[in-house]
């Protein structure tokens, strides 16, 4: 069973609200680090073990690599002509052409192949009605075809068949539906097809959806791709409940065209090659008894306010007096998990299939999403992004995962978000990785709603830029940087910091520049393998200033232009050597010349800030709240 249906549609303005995370003291032990002018502290515990247990996708790869897409598109010349109003009771090949009105019923026992040959077809309710006795249904499209219905809340192509429903052919099929364009109890396969879909419900609705080498345009009142298992399924399965998109080109209408998720799957989503481009529009409702009941809302769903003609997400501990709003239904980009079942048939969910195997897998693909809700969301599962390019804008989180998120050799451009990347465990690798994040709260956050003892953020390679109004990089466990180039522009307010962890910042290799405020400043651990400099000028360095670090021979090591003012700087580079001197500059003005006298060398106006005391409550609490699951 799924959330209640959307009852009202409306226009949503675009923006996110700047909110901060509360912090308390950390229980981690502290050591003293060198400071030219004052004494500061840093978390200093032994480094965690090397991360070796990443996402295992072999079983998913095996399932999709075994899929076949070889259904025939030939044979139209020998097919028997039928018309709307007829009933097909025998297996075989049939074709419909010309102008049609009414319903074609297919009740044969066995396989049926239907050709749509330049048809213009309208019906009141179901236009093609396929009975459960059909074991496999193939619909081949030739020429330009349009199908539509007029009665409220009815599927155009409706199949009770639990076998495959295949859509293929070289023609174009446009479907306008008062509910789903295509709904089947079994597997829907779209092969080398061109579809234009307009639905008030889910555009494509099946137990499992497989699409290959196809072009799809969609507008939908609910989800575009919706894979939902039967209510009797109570356990995770690899063989059903998923959406597999192989070299599919998807586009949607702009604002006010898609009101649900672009892709929703009960078990997992596997995107291989192709291009997905879409916009979702959320509908916001106020906190009333009727809205809570109608849309199945809880306290933490009401995480938005309407301010300056914009809906903006707020922190769970926000104390403002404004009216609070919630999203009436999920309107994410990709959403995987979980299986909700109803074994007694009373339309009330009996439970959720407990599993950590829910997954979003994106390989060699291009994704461009603008979503009111999360752009990528894996419930109680993982997300693996490999050799792909993602451009994401959202009111909520760009990519939120309850367990592990792995990004390898990919480009992520997160142009707006509440939080950029969120997971229990975040692992970033690959020399070709390029990540840019703009967030109104934390940029990268290791956090989860589930019990966890090993939260972390690990950066091994690539180029990462974070511009966050909350914490720049925030971990309820540790942060470890083993390589790459990381530039973090953290908050200007004193309630957050550029880097914030519960159990330590470990810098072992690569280049790091983290700027922000001094109020909650945390220093790298003295157990780091690579030295670092922490500096706080007497007054903040202004936005637009070029900040650089040079060595004693005046060779530039780091040079960045600030997009916001900075009161603190954490700098580290693989070229750093103990007992060597480095000069930090603001434009052509020298801020300080610092000699690396220890693993963490402090300089400037750091006294009394007690940096390194840990984040206490990184992540702002209640991660992932404020959206529909």
Question: Phi-psi region for residue 469, left (φ > 0), alpha (ψ -120 to 50) or beta?
Answer: alpha
The set of residues, in sequence order, having a beta carbon less than 8 Å from that of 268 and lying 6+ positions away, is 60, 238, 241, 242, 243, 336, 337, 357, 358, 359, 360, 361, 381
pLDDT at 619 over 90: no
Record the tokens describing residue 90, joined without a space: 């025998």
Beta bridge partners of 595: 581
- 18-24-29-35 Cα dihedral, nearest 10 degrees: 60
Higher-pLDDT residue of 311 and 24 is: 311
Higher-pLDDT residue of 612 and 243 is: 243
pLDDT in the model for residue 124: 93
Q: What one-character-per-residue DSSP string does 412-465 give? A: EEEEE-SSSEEESEEEEE-TT-EEEEEESS-SEEE--SS--S--EEEE-SSEEE
pLDDT in the model for residue 9: 38
pLDDT in the model for residue 627: 55
- 236-67-377-486 Cα dihedral, nearest 10 degrees: 120
For the segment 297-306, the average pLDDT, to the nearest whole number, is: 94
Rounded Cα–Cα distance for residues 401 and 421 (Å): 8
The conformation of residue 295, written as its DSSP 8-state character, comes to: H
Q: In this prediction, what percent of the chain has a pLDDT beyond 70?
A: 89
Rg, C-alpha atoms of the chain:
27
For the segment 534-549, the average pLDDT, to the nearest whole number, is: 96
Rounded Cα–Cα distance for residues 171 and 237 (Å): 34
Q: Are 111 and 91 in contact (CB under 8 A)?
A: yes
Identify the three-state secondary structure at position 283: coil
Query: H/E element holding 611?
Result: none
For the segment 611-617, the average pLDDT, to the nearest whole number, is: 39
Q: In this prediction, what percent of the chain has a pLDDT beyond 90?
A: 80
Q: Is the peptide bond before 338 cis (omega within 30 degrees of 0)?
A: yes
Q: Are 492 and 485 in contact (CB under 8 A)?
A: no
Residues belonging to the chain: 629
- Closest by Cα among 188, 193, 197, 199 to 215: 193
Rounded Cα–Cα distance for residues 20 and 445 (Å): 13
- Closest by Cα among 404, 298, 231 to 629: 298
Query: pLDDT digit string (tens) for 80-138?
Result: 999 999 999 999 999 999 999 999 999 999 999 999 999 999 999 999 999 999 999 99
Query: H/E element holding 147?
Result: strand 144-149
- List strands edge to edge, sheet with 556-561: 556-561, 546-551, 581-586, 589-595
pLDDT at 509 over 60: yes
State the average pLDDT for the chain.
89
Helical segments of 237-396, H only:
289-295
The beta-carbon contacts of 408-417 under 8 Å, at least 24 apart in sequence, are 408/384, 408/433, 409/433, 410/362, 410/385, 410/386, 410/434, 410/435, 411/435, 412/385, 412/436, 412/437, 414/438, 414/439, 415/391, 416/14, 416/15, 416/16, 416/440, 417/16, 417/375, 417/392, 417/393
Identify the three-state secondary structure at position 348: coil
Query: pLDDT digit string (tens) for 559-608?
Result: 999 999 999 999 999 999 999 999 999 999 999 999 999 999 999 877 54
- Closest by Cα among 449, 448, 509, 500 to 479: 500
State CA 9 to chain mean position distance. 23
Q: Are 360 and 336 in contact (CB under 8 A)?
A: yes
Record the tokens describing residue 583, joined without a space: 């000069």
Query: H/E element holding 309?
Result: none
State CA 131 to chain mean position distance. 37
Which residue shows structure tokens 């295949």? 166
State whether the Cα torsion 623-329-367-267 is positive or negative: positive
Angle at alpha carbon of residue 236, lines to 232 and 237, rounded to 5°: 95
Q: Are 571 and 548 in contact (CB under 8 A)?
A: no
Angle at alpha carbon of residue 453, lines to 448 and 455, rounded to 5°: 55
Query: H/E element holding 59?
Result: helix 58-65
For the segment 402-428, the average pLDDT, to the nearest whole number, is: 97
pLDDT in the model for residue 16: 31
Rounded Cα–Cα distance for residues 509 and 457 (Å): 15
The conformation of residue 336, written as its DSSP 8-state character, comes to: E
519 band by pLDDT with thresholds 50, 70 and 90: confident
Query: pLDDT digit string (tens) for 45-74?
Result: 689 888 988 999 999 999 999 999 989 888
Lowest mean pLDDT among 235-249, 385-399, 442-456: 442-456
Query: H/E element holding 58?
Result: helix 58-65
pLDDT in the model for residue 312: 92
pLDDT in the model for residue 218: 98
- Closest by Cα among 186, 384, 187, 363 to 276: 363
The set of residues, in sequence order, having a beta carbon less than 8 Å from that of 169 and lying 6+ positions away, is 73, 115, 116, 139, 140, 141, 142, 192, 193
Rounded Cα–Cα distance for residues 112 and 291 (Å): 45
pLDDT at 8 over 90: no
pLDDT at 76 over 50: yes
Query: pLDDT digit string (tens) for 12-45?
Result: 332 332 233 333 333 333 443 444 443 344 555 6
For the segment 167-189, the average pLDDT, to the nearest whole number, is: 97
């Amino acid at each position: 069973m799924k959330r209640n249906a959307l009852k009202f549609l409306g226009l949503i303005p675009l923006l996110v609200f700047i909110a901060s995370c509360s912090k308390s003291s950390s229980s981690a032990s502290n050591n003293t680090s060198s400071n030219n002018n004052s004494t500061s502290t840093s978390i200093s515990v032994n480094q965690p073990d090397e991360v070796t247990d990443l996402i295992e996708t072999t079983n998913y790869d095996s399932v999709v690599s075994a899929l076949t897409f070889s259904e025939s598109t030939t044979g139209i010349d020998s097919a028997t002509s039928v018309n709307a109003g007829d009933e097909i009771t025998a297996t075989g090949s049939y074709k419909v052409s010309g102008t049609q009105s009414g319903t074609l019923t297919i009740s044969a026992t066995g396989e049926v192949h239907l050709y749509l040959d330049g048809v213009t077809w309208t019906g009141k309710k179901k236009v093609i009605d396929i009975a459960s006795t059909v074991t496999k249904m193939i619909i081949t499209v030739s020429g330009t075809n349009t199908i539509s219905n007029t009665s409220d809340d009815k599927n155009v192509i409706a199949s009770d068949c639990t076998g495959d429903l295949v859509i293929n052919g070289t023609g174009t099929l446009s479907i306008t539906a008062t509910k789903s364009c295509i709904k089947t109890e079994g597997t829907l396969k779209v092969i080398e097809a061109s579809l234009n879909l307009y639905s008030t419900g889910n555009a494509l609705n099946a137990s499992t959806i497989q699409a290959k080498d196809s072009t799809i345009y969609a507008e939908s009142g609910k989800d575009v791709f919706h894979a939902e298992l039967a209510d009797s399924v109570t356990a995770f399965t690899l063989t059903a409940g998923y959406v597999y998109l192989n070299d599919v080109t998807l586009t949607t209408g702009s604002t006010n065209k898609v009101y649900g998720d672009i892709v929703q799957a009960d078990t997992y989503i596997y995107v291989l090659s192709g291009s997905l481009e879409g916009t979702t529009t959320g509908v916001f409702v106020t906190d009333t008894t009727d809205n809570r009941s109608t849309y199945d809302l809880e306290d933490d769903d009401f995480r938005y306010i309407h301010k300056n003609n914009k809906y903006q997400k707020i922190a769970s501990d926000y104390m403002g007096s404004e009216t609070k709003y919630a999203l009436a239904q999920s309107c994410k980009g990709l959403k995987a998990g979980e299986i909700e079942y109803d074994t007694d048939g009373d339309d009330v969910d009996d439970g959720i299939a407990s599993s950590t195997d829910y997954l979003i897998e994106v390989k060699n693909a291009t994704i461009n999403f603008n979503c009111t809700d999360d752009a990528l969301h894996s419930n109680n599962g993982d997300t693996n992004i490999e050799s792909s390019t993602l451009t994401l804008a959202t009111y909520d989180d760009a990519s939120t995962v309850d367990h592990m998120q792995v990004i390898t050799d990919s480009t992520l451009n997160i142009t707006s978000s509440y939080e950029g990347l969120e997971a229990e465990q975040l692992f970033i690798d690959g020399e070709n990785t390029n990540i840019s994040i703009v967030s109104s709260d934390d940029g990268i956050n290791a956090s989860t709603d589930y019990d966890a003892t090993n939260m972390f953020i690990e950066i091994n390679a690539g180029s990462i830029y974070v511009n966050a109004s909350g914490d720049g990089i925030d971990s309820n466990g540790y942060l470890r940087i083993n390589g790459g180039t990381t530039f973090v522009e953290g908050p200007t307010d004193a309630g957050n910091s550029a880097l914030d962890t519960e159990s330590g910042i470990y810098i072992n290799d690569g280049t790091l520049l983290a700027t922000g405020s001094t109020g909650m400043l945390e220093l790298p651990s003295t157990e780091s393998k690579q030295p670092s400099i922490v500096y706080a000028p007497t007054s903040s360095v202004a936005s637009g200033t070029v900040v650089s670090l040079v060595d004693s021979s005046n060779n530039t090591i780091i040079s960045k232009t600030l997009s916001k003012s900075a009161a603190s700087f954490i700098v580290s580079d693989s070229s750093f050597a103990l007992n060597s001197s480095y000069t930090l500059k603001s434009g052509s003005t020298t801020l300080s010349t610092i000699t690396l006298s220890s693993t963490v060398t402090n300089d400037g106006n750091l006294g009394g800030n007690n940096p390194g005391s840990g984040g206490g409550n990184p992540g702002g609490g209640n991660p992932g709240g404020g959206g529909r699951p």
